Every structure is written in C-alpha cells, then in structure tokens.
Chain A
Amino acid sequence: MDFILRAQDLHLSFHGIQALAGVSFDLSPHEILGIIGPNGAGKTSVLNCINGFYHPQHGRIVYAGQEISFWPPHRRAQLGIARTFQNIALYPGMTVLDNIMTGRVIRMRAGVLACSVYAGPAHREHVTQRAIVEDIIDFLEIEEARHHRVADLPYGLQKKVELGRALAMEPRLLILDEPMAGMSLDEKMDMARYILELKEVRHLPMILIEHDMGVVMDLCDRIVVMDYGKVIAEGPPVSVQRNPDVIRAYIGQEVGTTQG
C-alpha cells in the first residue's frame, strides 16, 4: 500500500453551487501534502469530505485500506484523522489545559460508574492523561498559558492550542486548514518548526492548506493546486511553481516570492 489516504473523484454541490467537481489525490505515509488555491476553490470542502462533515454526492474516501465515505465524523476521528479549522474551533470558555484534554476523551476508558465516583480509577486515569497533555504543552511551549481561558489568548496562541488539541488525539493523519493565517512572522516560524518536527520525529502524514507560498514551498513534499473545485496541477513544489496553469490561477499573486 503506497498511500494512507485516497480522495477519489469527489463531487460536491450546495443548492446547485458546485464546490467540488472531481477532486482526486493520494497521500502517502510520512508525506506532507499541500493544498493551495484561491479563496473559494474548494480546499476546505475537501477536508470536510475527508473528515466526514460533508458527504460528496459522488466519489470515495479511502483511508488506511478501508473505504470510509459513509462513516460519521467521530468514527473517522477515532481512526486517527485529526484536524484543525480555518476559523479556530476551540472551546473559548475552557482553559488551555481543558481544551487539550478534550482531545484525550477518546483515550479515556473510565465507565459511567467510575466517573460518578471519580475518586479511584477515573481520577487516576485523569492524572495519567494530564501528564500526556503536559507533554504536548511543553512541545508547543505554551506552559504560561496553561490555566488561561482560551478566549483571553491572542490569536496566534489559540492556533497553537488548536494544534495541541489535535495532537492530543495521537493522530495518524493530521489535517491543518490554514494553520498560519493571521500569524506574525515569529509565530509562523514556530508553527513551521512544529510541523517539521512532527514529520521528522513522528513521521506523521499531513495535509496542509496554507496561503503563504514560502511556507508551503518549504514544508510540503508535494502540492495539489485547486481552482473552481478542480485539481489544476499536482507535483513537487518546484514543478508546481512553474506550471503555467497555476500562474494563471494566481494572476495578481506573486507565486513563491513571499518567504515564511
């Protein structure tokens, strides 16, 4: 098996508006795949098809050898597909710690009775899980913010927390929807460092949607370019960068000149 995820001929429309018109690509294990394209190209819709929020009218999603096209989102998550959202989808009223802890819920086993007693197994389990969450907090260097409500944090930090929550699931495939949008240069460098480390150390395959071309070119092993719900180019960064179709789709945007 040379791919961990395959999107095959996805078609999706909303009330007559065609969001996806036959999108196909493979993601191989240990690879970072970038998806780029103008706003409204259908990038987020592809992710929503992969993790089960949208159901394509036509096409299949195959993950780790099984077809998951009709699985509900939570089952796909339990298979190890984790993601972050373009517009942060954290729990604003909870602390950073609790937010990341929600990523551990599926790893917790305490039954309803144990939970209602809490002292004993449920509590011990919570302590173990807390240690794992603390590791993630260390990894993302957000110790200071641990007990802060997420709503009170600056945007860039929230993006980090959302990555942390996804990592807490111990994912086997990580999907990042514009993880660096709206970040300062420093924050982008941090985020890029985490992504590289996840790839080098944990060999975690990733799908990355990002508008910053410099970042995309540096981080991704392969790039899929989308426009109007279709894949218009695919390949390693250098070749995509020179592709005339891509340049046409990006008229007005200077491909590859912004450095991250």
Chain B
Amino acid sequence: MSIRPAGDFKISYAQDMAVLDSTFNRVGFGALLAALVLAPFWLREFIFLLTTIGIFAVGACGLGLLTGFTGQISLGHAAFMAIGAYASAIITGSLGLPFLVALPLAGFVSFIFGAVVALPSVRIKGLYLAIATLAFQFLTEYAIIHMAGGVGAISVRAPSIGSWQLRTETQFYYMLLVVWVLSGVIASNLIKSRIGLAFMAVRDRDYAAQVLGIDLLYYKALAFGIAAFYAGIAGSLWAHYSRLITPEHFSIVTSIDYVAMVVMGGLTSVWGPHLGAALVILLSQGLKIITPEVIAVLPVFAKIATPLREIVFGSILIALLIWEPGGIAVLLKKLKRKLDLWPFAY
C-alpha cells in the first residue's frame, strides 16, 4: 500500500501519473535543489567533493537504469566512462571542437559501444553477463593503454562554453549541476515511460516480456546504450575536470565502485544512484581527507591508509547489504514512513 499524507487525493489519470506527485515531494525536491545551487557558499573549499559526487552520480544513473531497472549486471561500467573520457579528450584536442559539442558526442560514442556490447546479452545472461562485462572491462583498459602508448595518459583542455572558459572549481560545479540534474530528471522520465515499462518487464521475467511483443535484443541494447551514454557523459565531465586522464581512473576498481553505488544506494529507486554515489565518494574521499590528520598523530597509519580504505569500504558495503538489502533509498523510505505516522506508532 502506498502511504501518503491524508487530504492529498489523486484526481485524474494524468495527475495519478504526474512527475512529482505530492506536495511533500515537490517541497523536498525544491529544497534539495536550493541546497545544491547554494553549495559553493556552504561547502567552500570542499565543493570538489560535490563535483566528484555529481560526476559519478551521472554515471551511476546510467548503471541504475541498466542494472536496477533492466536487470543486466555490468562489471564494466568504468570502461564506458573511459571511452567517453578519451573520446572527449580527442574531440576537443585533436579535432578542436568545443566542449559543448564534445560532451554529448562522447556520450554517443559510448552509446554505440554499449549497444554493440549488448548484442551477446540475449544469449549470455545473469552471471555469465557479469563475467563477460568484467572481461570487457579488462580488455578496454588494455586496449586504451596500447593505443595511447606509455601509461595511456593524455591531458585534456579546460572546458569552455562559447568563449567563456570554466576556470574555477565553482564555475565547473555549476555547469556540472545542470548536467547532473538533467541526467537525473531524464532517467526518472525514462523509467515512467514505455521504455521504463519495457525495461522492467525484461528485468522481472524476460520470457513474459517476449510474449508481450517486447523485443529483448532491442531493449537490452537500448539499456546498455543508454547506460553507456551516461557513463560517457560522466567520463567526458571527469576528463575536463581532472584535465589529465589515465586508464587507471577507469579501472575495474571504478567499475566496482559504480556497482557498489547503485547497490548501496538502492537498485530500484531513481534516487539510489545519487545517494550511492554520495556515500561511496564521501567514504573514499573522506578517508583520504582525514588520513594526513591521523598520520600526524599516529605515524604508523601512513602504511595502512590505502588498505584501510578497502577494509572500511568493504565492511560498510557488507554491513549495509545485510542490514537493508534495498539500500539507502529503502532506509530513507522507511524513515519517512515513520515520520509520516509520527506520533502514532502504526
């Protein structure tokens, strides 16, 4: 049963299916947006955290559509991010095209790769697909290193919009914020549309979907393509943000981080990828930030700082999934339900 505040009745079909369907949601979303817009003022030098979260949230949004809503496991999401990043670097570098062209173009290049990778997914399912995408991840890393030469690093131009160069952290953040919000809104729109319905039909019971006339190949390729598109956009953003990219940024570790984001955030929630990205980035960056302070007090800590990140990250992931397999999104929903009913305990 859905729980919503009394007095908020749905009247027509159109309203029943509207985007932000209750006052609570509309107010909450508005407040969140305001906080994000004002973030540079209250986060100050820590705005880079939110920028990083935003970039990865965009990528995670794509994986959320693919894994959470279409049920296709991918352990190679970072490979598509790499493709987008290198595509964007080349498009703005050697081709000399502007950033605003490169950004969507990087997405499209990734899209093509994603759709092609999806072709075997009609035969290869579940676990086997996970393994295939894992192989794809390693092969992509390898290919990039070989094509770029050396360690595969290339430098990337600072992004500009028209003649306006985005030089400061804050400028980049506002550009990112637009892309981030768009990404989230588009993902949530897709889920409500025919495409989302078809995705979920494929996820929950693929043979039933076929009986309904849903072409598995088309929708799986579309899901992979869209997921790769998002990853490509994230890759492009990352490239122009960090200005120097190496395959190491997009290694299997990043792919695992992505999966951790969507699983910990909540697989079947549109908010899941964003919550998960925030958690994962805060965890790893947070550990990085406090490390120097701890080392000052406890010098032995220097040696175990990196492994400690892995241990803490792994433990939190396991603890969260045992505690609430539905992830943070479900935890928050439960919390909200409690608040709605408060002070009555039923």
Contacts and interface: CB of A to CB of B under 8 A. Distances in A.
B211 A82 contact: yes
Contacts of A130: 13, 16-17
Interface in B181-215: 186, 189-190, 192-198, 200-201, 204-205, 207-215
B19 A102 contact: no
A110 interface: yes
A116 B190 contact: yes
Given A115-B193, A118-B192, A122-B193, A74 B216 contact: yes
A108 interface: yes
Contacts of A105: 194, 197-198, 201, 212-214
Interface in B275-332: none
Nearest to B216: A74
B211 A122 contact: no
User: How many A residues touch the partner, as a band?
Assistant: 35 or more
Contacts of B186: 116-117
Interface string A92-104: 1110001001110
Nearest to A152: B1
Interface stretch (A30-38, A83-91, A209-217, A249-257): A83-91
A126 B200 contact: no
Contact of B210 (A72, A134, A169): A72
Contact of B213 (A93, A123, A127, A169): A169
B211 A106 contact: no
B68 to A, nearest CB: 12
Interface string A227-244: 000000000000000000
A46 to B, nearest CB: 15
Nearest to B203: A91
A169 B204 contact: no
Contacts of A116: 186, 189-190, 193
Contacts of A125: 194
Given A53-B207, A91-B204, A115-B193, A106 B214 contact: yes
B230 to A, nearest CB: 11
A172 B214 CA distance: 17
A115 B219 CA distance: 14
B2 interface: yes
Given A102-B212, A118-B19, A91 B205 contact: yes
Interface string A119-156: 10011011100110010000000000001100000000
A115 B189 contact: yes
B212 to A, nearest CB: 6
A51 interface: yes
Contact of A122 (B194, B200, B210, B214): B194
Nearest to A118: B189
A115 B207 CA distance: 24
A77 B211 contact: yes
Contact of A102 (B189, B201, B268): B201
A73 B189 contact: no
Given A72-B210, A127-B17, A110 B194 contact: yes
A102 B2 contact: no
A103 B216 CA distance: 15
Interface in B221-236: 222
Nearest to B210: A73
Q: Is the interface of A mostly helix, strand, loop or mixed?
A: helix
Contacts of B196: 115
Given A116-B190, A127-B13, A102 B195 contact: no
Contacts of B213: 74-75, 77-78, 105-106, 169
B155 to A, nearest CB: 33
B147 interface: no
B212 A165 contact: yes
B212 A77 contact: yes
B14 interface: yes
B212 A126 contact: no
A169 B212 contact: yes
Interface string B231-252: 0000000000000000000000
A112 interface: yes
Interface in A3-26: none
A127 B222 CA distance: 24
| The 10 nearest A-B residue pairs measured at CB | A115-B193, A118-B189, A77-B213, A106-B213, A108-B194, A73-B210, A89-B208, A91-B204, A116-B186, A78-B213
Given A52-B210, A78-B213, A105-B212, 16 more contacts: A77-B211, A77-B212, A89-B208, A91-B201, A92-B204, A98-B200, A102-B214, A105-B194, A105-B214, A110-B193, A110-B194, A116-B189, A117-B186, A122-B193, A130-B16, A148-B1
Interface of A: 51-53, 72-75, 77-78, 82-83, 85, 89-94, 98, 101-103, 105-106, 108, 110, 112, 114-119, 122-123, 125-127, 130-131, 134, 147-148, 165, 169
28 contacts: A72-B210, A73-B211, A74-B209, A77-B214, A78-B213, A89-B205, A89-B211, A90-B205, A90-B208, A91-B201, A91-B204, A93-B204, A98-B200, A102-B201, A103-B212, A105-B201, A106-B214, A108-B194, A110-B193, A115-B189, A115-B195, A116-B186, A117-B189, A118-B192, A118-B193, A122-B189, A122-B193, A127-B13
